[in-house]
């Protein structure tokens, strides 16, 4: 019985890995153009990518985040800056694609960077019904449910336990997605 479960999880993983590689290969065919702009708050630069829907690649420190996903393996942001003083932050995940959750579902999971690979692997055996997340895993700091095209979900996350300057990563735990759908999660005062 465990062998069948392992084979099923492996088949699911390789199916999604195939689609990830296929989509990644097609991503070079886009007509995206990048334009650096100055951030008036500091002398750093933020790079914006212009597409049909404008999405920034970095998020300025905030207490609420709107994260957009679609029928591709990418979050609209690859870096988040969180104010520790917020106390609680809101994560709003919106899937603007058309594919169902079982085909191209996405979620948002937060953990320490060193734990991403193991948590993503453990999530495969948890299955879609559990959002590809082992809810009993204390290394997972927060997660949203898996959503498909046209769906939205939100969570609130306390910043009390987060360490300023800590090494955190957010990612999608759908099988095969964590390799391309991840970003840095930064906590500042």
What ranges do the domains of the chain cover?
2-188
Q: Determine the pLDDT at residue 189.
A: 84
Q: Global pTM?
A: 0.71
With a cut of 70, which residues of the chain have pLDDT below it?
1-60
Report the pLDDT value the prediction gives residue 145, as an integer from 0 to 100: 98
* CATH superfamily, with its number, for domain 2-188: Cupredoxins -  blue copper proteins (2.60.40.420)
**What is the DSSP secondary-structure string of the chain?**
-HHHHHHHHHHHHHHHHHHHHHHHHHGGG---EEEEEE-TTSS-EEEEEESSS-EESSEEEESEEEEEEBSBS--S-SEEEEEGGGSEEEEEEEE-S-S-HHHH-B--EEEEGGGHHHHHHHHHHH-GGGTT--TT-TTEEEEPPPB-TT-EEEEEEESTTPPTT--EEEE--STTTTTTSEEEEEEE-
Q: Per residue in 52-95, pLDDT tens?
A: 334 445 566 789 999 999 999 999 999 999 999 999 999 999 99
């Amino acid at each position: 019985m465990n062998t069948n479960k392992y084979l099923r999880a492996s088949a699911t993983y390789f199916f999604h890995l195939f689609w990830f590689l296929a989509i990644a290969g097609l991503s070079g065919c886009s007509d995206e153009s990048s334009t650096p702009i100055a951030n008036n708050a500091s002398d750093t630069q933020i790079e914006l990518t212009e597409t049909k829907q404008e999405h920034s690649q970095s998020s300025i420190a905030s207490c609420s985040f709107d994260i957009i996903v679609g029928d591709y393996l990418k979050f609209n942001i690859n870096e988040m800056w969180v104010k520790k003083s917020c106390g609680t932050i809101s994560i709003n995940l919106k899937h603007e694609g058309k594919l169902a959750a079982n085909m191209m579902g996405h979620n948002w999971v937060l953990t320490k960077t060193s734990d991403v690979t193991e948590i993503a692997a453990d999530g495969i055996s948890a299955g879609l019904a559990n959002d590809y997340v082992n809810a009993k895993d204390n290394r997972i700091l927060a997660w949203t449910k898996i959503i498909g095209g046209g769906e939205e979900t939100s969570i609130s996350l306390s910043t009390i336990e987060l360490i300023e300057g800590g090494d955190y990563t957010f990612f999608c735990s759908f099988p095969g997605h964590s390799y391309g759908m991840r970003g840095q999660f930064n906590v500042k005062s």
